[in-house]
Amino acid sequence: MTNRFPSWLRDVLGRMAASKSWQEVLRTPKFHKQSLINGVINDMTKDELKDQLKSLEKDERCDKKGNKEILQKRLKLHYRHLKSTPSRRSASAIVSNEQQPFDYLCVLDFEATCDDAHDFEKYPHEIIEFPVVLINTSTMETDGEFHRYCRPTLNPILTEYCTSLTGITQAQVDSSNEFPIVFREFETWLHGNGLGTESSFSFATHGSADIDKFLRHQCAINEIRFPDYAKRWADVRRHYANFYGVSARKCSVTGMLDGLEWKFEGREHSGIDDARNIAKIVVQLMKDGRTMTANDQLN
């Protein structure tokens, strides 16, 4: 078993084991063996972490981009899975579709009417952009998108603040259908992709506001029965913070991208661009070994 670890790690662990032989070290409880490896990894510099991940580049899990905490997580997971499997399978193969609870994830990021006072009682939010990116959790690829704009009815004229923030123009919403029609189109799209019938799926969002606030309020405004499939969802921000061990305060969309050493692609607060960037983060989480459960629910 020891030959499955590179010489640098065997040498360091050998010194840490002091008077113990390798056989004695490997006969200790599993958590203790892993703690020795974790201790070595915790003492590495970022450059050392990248060098070790580079030597494992055949393993899809061992991406070299990311801050120090993320690189440490990847290297620890690599050795944890290596020690727990009988063959030298790629660690990314461990994260099979069987471990993901859903066949597909629908990454959702609504944009809504707003003003600079942020007073919902005086200016209730209405959904004006309905974007979804469909991720196949087996292939970890994007299998499609749904994207529509919606015409608001309570406050049909967009504020300058809203247009400046989202990039959505008055002409775009004026030429679009109202939410009930767009919602029916979305459900037709779901059924057309076999979602909820042939394949299981969950929404994936950045936080809870998209569903617990925007979708819930919009269904109430239009007297639409809230869909059962939206009552639980995967909160990507929470998954990211818990998995990589970072503060939730660092988990804005741009903050998560920064942690992965990626740049935001497109226009921030454009619903479809936000959804595409969040989808990239979701895919990386799965590649790194995260099981994307429905970890949030309607209040």
pTM of the model: 0.85
d(CA 1, CA 117): 63
d(CA 134, CA 225): 23
Cβ-proximal residues to 54 (8 Å cutoff; 6+ apart), any chain: 62, 64
Name the least confident of 114-118, 126-130, 264-268. 114-118
Beta bridge partners, 135, equal: 105, 142
- Which pLDDT value is given to residue 257? 98
CB 167 within 8 A of CB 266: no
d(CA 72, CA 56): 14
In angstroms, the Cα distances linking 120 to 144, 155, 210, 214 are 33, 12, 15, 11
d(CA 214, CA 133): 18
3-state class (DSSP) for residue 127: strand
CB 40 within 8 A of CB 76: no
Among 250, 256, 248, which Cα is nearest to 281's? 256
How do strand 232-235 and strand 201-205 relate by DSSP bridges?
A: parallel
Identify the helix (H) or strand (E) that includes residue 205. strand 201-205
Sign of the torsion formed by the C-alpha atoms of 126, 271, 197 and 151: positive
- Which pLDDT value is given to residue 26? 46
- Which pLDDT value is given to residue 49? 86
Mean pLDDT of the chain: 87
Which pLDDT tens digit goes with each residue over 190-244?
999 999 999 999 999 999 999 999 999 999 999 999 999 999 999 999 999 999 9
Tokens of residue 258, six digits: 């920064």
Q: Band the pLDDT of 272: cuts 50, 70, 90.
A: very high
In angstroms, the Cα distances linking 153 to 84, 142, 212 are 57, 33, 21
Q: Band the pLDDT of 97: cuts 50, 70, 90.
A: very low
3-state class (DSSP) for residue 145: strand
3-state class (DSSP) for residue 162: helix
d(CA 277, CA 262): 10
> For residue 230, which phi and psi values (nearest 5 degrees)?
-105, 5
Q: Give the rounded percent of residues in the chain with a pLDDT score beyond 90.
A: 65
- Which pLDDT value is given to residue 2? 45
Beta bridge partners, 163, equal: none
3-state class (DSSP) for residue 142: strand
Sign of the torsion formed by the C-alpha atoms of 33, 37, 39 and 40: positive
Q: Give the rounded percent of residues in the chain with a pLDDT score beyond 70.
A: 82
Give a three-class secondary structure readout of 214-282.
Answer: HHHHHHHHCCCCCCHHHCEEEEHHHHHHHHHCCCHHHCCHHHHHHHCCCCCCCCCCCHHHHHHHHHHHH
List residues with catalytic annotation: 111, 269
CB 199 within 8 A of CB 105: no
- Which pLDDT value is given to residue 168? 98
150: left (phi over 0), alpha (psi -120 to 50) or beta: beta
- pLDDT at residue 1 above 70? no
